[in-house]
Amino acid sequence: MVLNPEEKDELLGRYHIRPDQLPYILSSDPVVREIGAKPGDVIKIMRKSPTAGVAVYYRYVVEG
């Protein structure tokens, strides 16, 4: 899911980071294209985890 500007600002403020300090994901990634994310967006990825239940990851979309 693509974070809206408020969610993005909250995430970056919570961890005191800039978007470019997040792990990158290319805009050419099939899932990124499917959800309509553009370079500069931050996306939230949720995966099932046997130990944590659900693990949440954030990625910064870059050109590519």
Output the furthest CA–CA distance in the chain (Å, rounded): 34
Judge whether residue 63 has pLDDT over 90. Answer: yes
Judge whether residue 52 has pLDDT over 90. Answer: no
pLDDT of residue 33: 96
Residue 42 class from Cβ within 10 Å (0-12 exposed, 13-18 middle, 19+ buried)?
Answer: buried
Task: Enumerate domains of the chain plus CATH numbers.
Answer: 5-62 (3.90.940.20)
Query: pLDDT, tens digit, for every residue of 4-49?
Result: 999 999 999 999 999 999 999 999 999 999 999 999 999 999 999 8
User: Any bridge partners for residue 26, and if so which?
Assistant: 62
Cα separation, 27 vs 62, whole angstroms:
6
H or E stretch at 35: helix 30-35
pLDDT of residue 62: 97
